[in-house]
Structure 1
Amino acid sequence: MIVRENFELQLKELQGKIVELAELASGAITKSFTALENRDFEEALGVIEDDTKADLLEEEINDFAILLIAKQQPVAIDLRRIIAAIKIASDMERMADFGVNIAKSAIRIGDQPFILPITSLKEMYDITLKMIELSIDAFEREDITLAREIIEMDDEVDRFYGDMIRSLLRLSDEKNLQQVTQLSFIARYLERTADHTTNIAENIYFLVRGRYISRRD
């Protein structure tokens, strides 16, 4: 009984590290997009400087998870919890990287006026941030209803991504080339962040059901 209780505590600790990494990723996306909107280069530089925190925490999670497998030899749902944690940590770390990339693009755009309203970009950001928040909640609660909701939200991000790219292509000339390129990159980073959040939702579904979600679900 004591062994099981200790294992449960270790699984909780692993879960806590995942939530911490998710908050780092969410913070990187939030700060970088705010830096873009406000032309706040100090904020953008702060995101870039903080990137190693997410890298180190992902390594810590992987080491902790491997040690749990080696020492506890878990089966069934406990093993799925650990495997899902490793996969989710990888997605979260990539999302933090996208936050850094957005910050770099914000610096490259500088204080130039936007060549078009960034409405679609803002919509992508809002939905993506909501997806990250829901993924943390779904992971902590092992909630497949929330996981399905996250997966469905990815289609909205894809739609706004298409709108943004089409608008930018219409303005793609030599004068606007640098900003068109950087705004296209930012749109892509947000779209990829949503994709990684969808991966997390799919892994939460796998954790609970022992299989990946299908169209029938």
Structure 2
Amino acid sequence: MRLGKVVKSNSHCDYVVQVDDQMDVIHPPQADDYGFGCFVKLEKPSDRHWAVGVIYNSQLFNPMFLSNGPRLSSEPDPVFAPDLILETRTLLGVVLIGAMIGKGKSAHGTHGIPRVVVPVDTPAFLMSRDEIYQFHLNETGQPQFCYYSHLLRFGGSFAAQLTQQVLKELADSQLFSGSEQRALEILCKELSWKNTMSVMR
């Protein structure tokens, strides 16, 4: 599912995605489609894949907020104001955690800060369950979680909660089994304990 497009960046691994609305596409994404901790991919399907990221923040942009201009006493008449549109926007903060290598069933992930700069207007898509699984496999097909410390450092003011939620959802998804599943569960418990202790201090 397409969510929107890249409109700016705050750093090399911190990008802002503007969510599509009814003026951009016929069926825009709904609020439930782009929640906190969702995996997204930045790519042009017919051109190039750029990066994989996680939604760590959201902002509502409303230019009418605190506007001191005159207000209409009733709803605008479309006959006299046919071009009047709402300029409210939803912006998503996305921290880049790696990229996909290859396509199809043989695709795998590489974790870390991508070397390339993602261009403006690059489409952002919600990743499917299979794509998330493939992103967490290395070139030999073994599970990997190498972005753990990176997400804790660059995940914004909610980094600890973001990392904990991502790990918990991966563990609950049952995409992995055996020692990899147990490792995920241990990481979840350890991070939950750290978050609890930091609040108590």
Q: Fold-level match, TM-score > 0.5?
A: no
TM-score (norm: length of structure 1): 0.29
When you count strand as a share of all residues, which structure comes out higher?
Answer: 2
Which fold has the larger relative contact order, with Cα–Cα distance below 8 Å and residues 6 or more apart in sequence?
Answer: 1
When you count helix as a share of all residues, which structure comes out higher?
Answer: 1
